[in-house]
Chains A and B, each alone.
Chain A
Amino acid sequence: MEFSELIRTGRAQAELLRGPEAPPLRGTLCVTGHHLLLSPGPQATSDLWLLLLRSVDSIEKRVAGDSGTITLRCKDLRVLQLDIEGVEATLDIARSIEALSSLESVITSFPFFYRPKGLRLGDAWHFHPPEHYYKRVARETNAWRLSEVNEDFSVCPSYPRAVIVPRAVDDDALKRSARFRQGGRFPVLSYHHAPSGTVLLRSSQPLTGPQKRRCAEDEEMLRAVLAGARPGARGFIVDTRSSQTAKQARMTGGGTEAKAAYPGWKRLHRPLERGRPLQESFVRLVEACGDLEQSMDRWLSRLEGCRWLAHVKEALSTACLAAQGMEREGACILVHGAEGTDSTLLVTSLAQLILDPLSRTMAGFQELVEREWIQAGHPFQLRCAHSAFSHARPKHEAPTFLLFLDCVWQLGRQFPLSLEFGEGLLLALFEHAYASPFGTFLCNSEKERCLCEVRTRTHSLWSGLNQPKEQRKVRNPLYVLNPLAIWPSVEPQSLRLWQGLFLRWTRPPEPSEVAWEKVWQIVTDKEKTEGSQPTVSAPEPQS
């Protein structure tokens, strides 16, 4: 398909308004296959302004007299206004943006054309495969093995090629267990907590159905998990649905583990919001944050009505519960909801962040995102198709990943010295999950990424972010290794609205930038001083 078919007009004169704090920009507007460009003209001092069309969430056009206005609401929550000369030009540009920003084809998307200087294709793609994590697990325990049962994605289309499973369970048993789990997502290792010798597993719901079906291999698998952990270990199944919902799921073929079938395992229900209600919560919050006219009187109840902070509290509490079970109770934890691709991953990834100091480093956190979200089959393409501004009725959209980032931000606020990465990295991940020149968040699963050859034909976000020039933005200069678990407070007094994200474009950024600069300066001052210690070489003994 040719993009040019969708571009109805080449260029127009326009003025761009970027919110109350930034000065307007005038110049020639131009639509290309993937971008909206504004060239301020030869005599202007400012550079070319560029917007990835993919990041446009909704577009609104108005015409009056012989000019028009286009309002672009972006997926990163920015709101831009373009005043364009000429009615025809306005309508044409609006239509072009509309068509180009909603293209669904993956292989014609920008990451397949993006070739930044200084990066080589395929550079960072080998950074974080499951094999890498398995090496660590294997050093800690012998009870687990790396299985390639899913090498051709036939056992579970949303799992990666290799998964970590109990050594005692063979591939045939895995295949049978997969048939008993929704989408084939049989229980796999998510994290091995060496200090207590316990493990965190994740899966999807068992397909017990109305007949209360059972699966011997599935039961055997969980038995093997307990047997492989420390002697006498117990297990908890954290179901991210209410027990009511879990029971109802039986009617549609799903369900939850029957107690009698899994000796040693207890079930806990911690309902977490997902799907459409979560998306609506996000939409309402963004709406409230963008409403600058409302009075103080109603702000807090409006914030309450959005329920977003309540979701943050629930997600963190559940993750803490799972982490606590492993660290304090010495129990093995299996987390699942229904599909096991959303709130399940939210809980398992947060629990690791709480428990595992390695996952709080820059490299460790990137690996965690890669392993527990991207490779674990969180359907990014479906979930992040639209952000908070889309007028379309949400189908599969849900800001589960954003909720994860928010929870991480809350952890970082409560433990400002314990995460090696800063707010900048979380903001970048949010942006790139919704629209990115990199291929990392493309598609819904490893299988799809293989089909599209994402790994060989696009650049990895990780190599983009790990370039030296990005470090000041994404790194936390205050980081000091904290070898312990970080237990956050989940009381409402301790949780805050993430202003850096939700108010990013409505409040002036300078004060926090000035503070960030200062933090860096203090820390680098020290490093410089340390570096300038004179080396006193002992004089050569003279004989």
Chain B
Amino acid sequence: MEHIRTPKVENVRLVDRISSKKAALGTLYLTATHVIFVENAPDTRKETWILHSQISTIEKQATTATGCPLLIRCKNFQLLQLIVPQERDCHDVYISLIRLAKPVKYEELYCFSFNPKLDKEEREQGWMLIELSEEYKRMGLPDDYWQLSDVNRDYRVCDSYPTELFVPKSATAHIILGSSKFRSRRRFPALSYYYKDNHASICRSSQPLSGFSARCLEDEQMLQAIRKANPGSDFIYVVDTRPKLNAMANRAAGKGYENEDNYSNIKFQFIGIENIHVMRNSLQKMLEVCELKSPSMSDFLWGLENSGWLRHIKAIMDAGIFIAKAVSEEGASVLVHCSDGWDRTAQVCSVASLLLDPHYRTLKGFMVLIEKDWISFGHKFNHRYGNLDGDPKEISPIIDQFIECVWQLMEQFPCAFEFNERFLIHIQHHIYSCQFGNFLCNSQKERQELKIQERTYSLWAHLWKNRADYMNPLFRADHSQTRGILRLPTTPCNFMYKFWSGMYNRFEKGLQPRQSVTDYLMAVKEETQQLEEELEALEERLEKIQKVQLNHTKVKSKPSEPSKHSGFSTSDNSTANTPQDYSGNMKSFPSRSPSQGDEDSALILTQDNLKSSDPDLSANSDQESGVEDLSCRSPSGGDCVPSEDSAKDRDSDEAVFLTA
């Protein structure tokens, strides 16, 4: 709290990004965990809540006649433009937020104060929802070829790996240790996914310390062991997910890649996925495009292409597809690595697993997948997502890219996933929110030291509890197309990669489809179920009545009430009924003023826009947390607001046609 210079500023204006003329007047509050803007409009009192940990950058712009503009960009792609009347207040808010957005120790993060009012037992159960040991069992492990190794007990060998790992049976502790010494940060090859149908596996590691000529017998034996663990194939693929040039450059630093001459029976393959710095810049460029004010189609498409974002997404997908094909079609095992084996490797292994195994396309399976390939294998969440103040060059949207890959697949295969787009968006939100302990720290070891499970709550339990919101009504688990491996078309289809406005422009509701098929179908399904239940009840009653009738008793029966449930037809009409600014920045609808000349040289008059009420059918978890009354609500209260609901606005902006 000591970092808050001013807890409350009045008469602040929240500028609407689509039409700069409209701004909501309100009060800005700074709390220990949130920035809150409450509009003055008495009938709405619309509130916007921003978690400090979501703040990516704060920009104080030059003071103008109207006040001092403050631009807050969030990691969940929300953009807030405030105008504070007094420069001094603006400065105070700015300085406070700079500090609040960059906590220096874990204890400052929201998850340590967040209390969803669950008791200890419930919390513990929450953490037990996703168990990796269960997942390995599901894969069919241990078996004749693979065993659980305790070589990394107490993180003795590799501090960024989990303690429980599966390795080939023939890989002795000696081999593993030797191999670990020959790999960056001692991240030796370990099992990521086992395809029990044909015994092929996906293993992961970091790059070998081969330099220009170094060899390591144990490392070579380790790869042999992986190959032998798959009797159906006489070679393994080694996939280096970096561009060849990057890998070669690493050789000069004593790192590098496997020399095919030294390892017997490997097929080595480069897949050029760029590094974290390229990805960070690419996202930055794409977000600049998203922020453009009424861009033309050309501005948008050129900007999107120049950002390179979709090209990077495709590179990751291609790598995943390559591996999934190697495993399922060629029956070959694959060892995947990049440099440290915790970014690109995590992306590629999880995309391949998702393509191969329908289990990962279910709600729970997807949580398991993230737990396995990202959390347990030491993806550096803290560094990549900037939870604590750190090196900005370490920040990069690596898991965001994976999440987008999943979305791109969902677009291609609408029936293959049990969960919907909202599920992905909420996971992305919470990776940055620090509201739950799952994504804290850089490794399992650090999380254990912090006693995360005793002090914070698990996101998975929270999502699972609200799973009804995350279901994909089109999911067809039984269909031949979605049952096994997801087969992408053989021809290279660039066009399948689309811009994900539901993620990157998601706070601009006006840009999104105004009606949700998912919500509608879920409501229909629910209603069908209700009707079925009612039907059953009615049939029961009918039976009774008939019995009663037999007893010659007069009974008046009530007809059924089908009108009771008609709530779902409310497709979002109020939003639908708000036009956008179609006049562009050009003059439109000249006023009645006796304007000069013959032509339509008149004023801009249609400044209405689409930012408007959103009776978001997605009844999210925050609904219960009544956002109306600020005073009776502790900032650490049961607020699980993933995003879109943080802004509630009941009035729709009517078009304001100024007819002067």
Contact = CB atoms under 8 A, between A and B. Distances in A.
- Is chain B found bound to chain A in the same assembly? yes
Interface string B273-312: 0000000000000000010001111111110110000110
A299 to B, nearest CB: 4
A493 B580 CA distance: 14
A106 to B, nearest CB: 37
Nearest to A537: B557
Q: Which of A327, A484, A493, A530 has the most CB of B within 10 A?
A: A493
B567 interface: no
Contacts of A321: 582-583, 588
A416 B513 contact: yes
B494 A295 contact: yes
Interface stretch (B99-107, B200-208, B368-376, B521-529): B521-529
Interface string A500-526: 000100111011101100110011011
Contacts of A542: 552, 554
B116 interface: no
Nearest to B538: A534
Interface string B581-593: 0111000111010
A65 to B, nearest CB: 28
Contact of B491 (A486, A491, A506, A534): A506
B539 interface: yes
B270 interface: no
B625 interface: no
Contacts of B631: none
Q: Which of A300, A320, A415 has the most CB of B within 10 A?
A: A300
A286 interface: no
Contact of A487 (B513, B552, B576): B576
A507 B496 contact: yes
Given A415-B515, A487-B578, A534-B535, A508 B657 contact: no
A538 B557 contact: yes
B42 to A, nearest CB: 26
B610 to A, nearest CB: 6
A115 interface: no
A128 interface: no
15 contacts: A20-B489, A292-B493, A304-B298, A318-B582, A324-B606, A414-B514, A415-B514, A492-B297, A511-B412, A512-B414, A514-B476, A518-B473, A522-B525, A526-B531, A532-B535
A484 B606 CA distance: 20
Contacts of A30: none
Contacts of B479: 514
Contact of B554 (A503, A519, A539): A539
B453 interface: no
Given A299-B494, A514-B414, 19 more contacts: A21-B489, A234-B592, A259-B599, A266-B589, A309-B297, A318-B582, A328-B655, A413-B513, A416-B515, A417-B571, A418-B571, A487-B610, A491-B294, A492-B300, A508-B489, A523-B521, A526-B527, A534-B539, A539-B555
Contacts of B521: 478, 519, 522-523
A64 interface: no
Interface string A414-444: 1111100000000000000000000000000
A301 interface: yes
A89 interface: no
A473 interface: no
Contact of A417 (B497, B520, B579): B520
A310 interface: yes
A25 interface: no
Contact of B528 (A243, A301, A525): A525
B535 A492 contact: no
Given A20-B490, A321-B582, A526-B531, A511 B576 contact: no
B297 A487 contact: no
A329 B589 contact: yes
A417 B589 contact: no
Given A258-B598, A529-B531, A487 B511 contact: no
Contacts of B602: 266
Interface stretch (B24-32, B90-98, B118-126, B498-506): B498-506
Given A296-B314, A489-B580, A529-B528, A499 B297 contact: no
Contacts of B392: none
B33 to A, nearest CB: 31
A328 B297 contact: no
Contacts of A310: 296-298
B413 interface: yes
10 residue pairs, one from A and one from B, having the closest CB atoms: A492-B300, A300-B305, A304-B301, A515-B414, A487-B579, A310-B297, A320-B582, A299-B494, A484-B577, A493-B501
B301 A514 contact: no
B557 A536 contact: yes
Interface residues of A, number: 91
A267 B655 CA distance: 21
B481 interface: yes
A320 B542 contact: no
B463 interface: no
B560 interface: yes
Interface of B: 290, 294-302, 304-305, 310-311, 314, 412-416, 473-474, 476, 479, 481-482, 489-499, 501, 505, 508, 510-517, 520-521, 524-525, 527-528, 531-532, 535, 538-539, 541-542, 545, 549, 552, 554-560, 562, 569, 571, 573, 576-580, 582-584, 588-590, 592, 598-600, 602, 606, 608, 610, 655, 657, 659
A369 interface: no
B531 A490 contact: no
A506 B600 CA distance: 46
Nearest to A316: B582
A283 interface: no
A414 B572 CA distance: 11
A105 B559 CA distance: 64
A487 B517 contact: no
B204 to A, nearest CB: 26
Contacts of A482: 571, 573, 576
Contact of A530 (B516, B520, B531, B554): B531
Contacts of A267: 599-600
Given A300-B301, A415-B513, A506-B491, A490 B580 contact: yes
Contacts of B554: 539, 541-542
A478 B517 contact: yes
Given A325-B589, A511-B481, A538-B557, A269 B513 contact: no
B489 A503 contact: no
Contacts of B535: 529, 532-534
A287 to B, nearest CB: 13
Contacts of B505: 493
A80 interface: no
A268 B579 contact: no
A478 B508 CA distance: 25
B481 A514 contact: yes
Interface string A299-327: 11101100101100100011011011101
Contact of B302 (A234, A304, A491): A304
A104 interface: no
